[in-house]
């Protein structure tokens, strides 16, 4: 009987020590699982856009524009970085007109950007349905220059080329439709115009644009 009581007492002490040891061990919280973005921006898209532009430098031209956009985005699974390429083109009416008096004869010169466009790369950071991005690349614009004097108008048009840079914000308000707002600065080199029977070199074309638009994303 004494041996049984001694064995039971030893077993009770060992069990209590083991339980105390288990309670003393520190608890380590498991790391949170990796969460992929709820939206993925990858794929082809087309859209419509429009806005307002104004000149800088030697140009005071300003006016509205409207056109279209096509592009493609790449976003790797689990990443918030989005890369893409975008092409856009727009009809425009940026006008700048000046009238001067030379010895009683009035000369009116006018410049008008009729169309412009760009081919740009795009890089952005996605926060689910919102995308903040920067873009830049090649740009062009068709400009018409004219001189009116003594009831006669002489005009010529040339295509200028250069670069454009800027950025914007795009938001997916449905899985397939997004809205955007964007600012761009464009700088284009000068060209030679044939006016009044001789060549006239123009200055660079520089202008700013603010545009809004909607895009449809093919899934």
Determine if the pTM surpasses 0.85: no
- How much is the pLDDT for 170? 98
Provide the residue range defining the domain that includes 125: 42-217
Domain annotation covers residue 112: yes
Residue by residue, pLDDT tens for the chain (219 residues) are 444 333 333 334 344 444 444 454 554 555 554 444 567 999 999 999 999 999 987 778 899 999 999 999 999 988 999 999 999 999 999 998 888 888 778 888 888 999 999 999 999 999 999 999 999 999 999 999 988 888 888 889 999 999 999 999 999 999 999 999 999 999 999 999 998 778 888 889 999 999 999 999 998
Q: How many domains does the chain have?
A: 1
Measured CA distances, 18 to 13, 34, 190, 200, 201 (Å): 9, 36, 87, 98, 94
Q: Does any domain span residue 29?
A: no
Residue 145 belongs to some domain of the structure: yes
107 occurs within a structural domain: yes
Report yes or no on 24 lying in a domain. Answer: no
**Tokens 């009809």 sit at which residue?**
91
- Residue 12 covered by a domain: no
Residue 4 within any structural domain of the chain: no
Q: pLDDT value at position 30?
A: 52
pLDDT score of 196:
78
Tell me how far apart the alpha carbons of residues 50 and 54 are, in angstroms, rounded to a whole number: 14
Residue 152 resides in a domain: yes
pLDDT at 26: 53
CA distance 144 to 167: 28
CATH of residue 146's domain is: 2.40.160.20
Burial of 145 (0-12, 13-18, 19+ CB in 10 A): buried
């Amino acid at each position: 009987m004494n041996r049984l009581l001694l064995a039971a007492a030893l077993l009770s002490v060992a069990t209590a020590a083991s339980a105390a040891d288990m309670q003393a061990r520190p608890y380590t919280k498991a790391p949170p699982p990796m969460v992929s973005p709820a939206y993925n921006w990858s794929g082809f898209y087309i859209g419509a856009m429009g806005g307002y532009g104004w000149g800088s430098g030697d140009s005071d031209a300003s006016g509205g524009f409207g056109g279209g956009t096509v592009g493609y985005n790449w976003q790797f699974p689990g990443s918030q970085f989005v890369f893409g390429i975008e092409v856009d083109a727009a009809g425009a009416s940026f006008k700048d007109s000046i009238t001067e008096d030379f010895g009683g004869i009035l000369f009116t010169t006018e410049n008008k950007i009729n169309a412009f466009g760009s081919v740009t790369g795009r890089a952005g950071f996605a926060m689910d349905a919102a995308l903040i991005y920067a873009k830049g690349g090649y740009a062009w614009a068709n400009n018409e220059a004219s001189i009116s004097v003594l009831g006669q108008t002489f005009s010529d048009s040339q295509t200028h080329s250069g670069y454009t840079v800027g950025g914007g914000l795009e938001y997916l308000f449905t899985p397939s439709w997004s809205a955007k707002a964007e600012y761009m600065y464009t700088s284009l080199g000068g060209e030679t115009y044939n006016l009044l029977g001789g060549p006239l070199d123009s200055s660079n074309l520089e202008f700013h644009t603010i545009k809004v638009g909607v895009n449809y994303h093919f899934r």
